[in-house]
Amino acid sequence: MKTKTYIEKAVMEHFKVSKEDLYDTSKNVYPFSAARSVLMYMLYASREYKIYEIQEMFGYSARRTVEYRIASVSSSVKKDVGKFAEDVRVIKEKLNEKIK
């Protein structure tokens, strides 16, 4: 299974959203927008996807949208504060458990 699939499944389980909801950019409320932001961050952090590839996955016309979402989550994770940092930590733990 590809990295993207593992990360998608973990994010969907954590936020309790469907794959359709995850990629539906018209849903700009929690948990959909948070799940989308965390997924973008984790895909980019995996170093397997570039910004433009993530932009295409979600159908955004502006690259800046993806950069902003990734930066927001990244800032929270680096400072280890906020909901995004907690979400990413929990999802990474789940992914690590599945690998073992």
Over residues 16-59, the pLDDT tens digits come to 999 999 999 888 888 899 999 999 999 999 999 999 999 999 99
| Cα–Cα distance, 68 to 34 (Å, whole number) | 13
* Closest alpha carbon to 46 in 85, 3, 91, 13: 3
| Cα–Cα distance, 100 to 91 (Å, whole number) | 15
Percentage of the chain lying above the pLDDT 70 cut: 96
| Cα–Cα distance, 13 to 69 (Å, whole number) | 20
Is residue 11 scored above 90 in pLDDT?
yes
Topology classification of domain 3-99: Chromosomal Replication Initiator Protein Dnaa; Chain: A; (1.10.1750)
* CB 77 within 8 Å of CB 84: yes
**Domain locations along the chain:** 3-99
Encoding tokens for residue 73? 């989550």
pTM: 0.89
Residue type, 26: S
| Cα–Cα distance, 47 to 63 (Å, whole number) | 17
User: Which residue did the predictor score with more confidence, 90 or 3?
Assistant: 90
Is residue 3 scored above 90 in pLDDT?
no
User: Which residue did the predictor score with more confidence, 12 or 80?
Assistant: 12
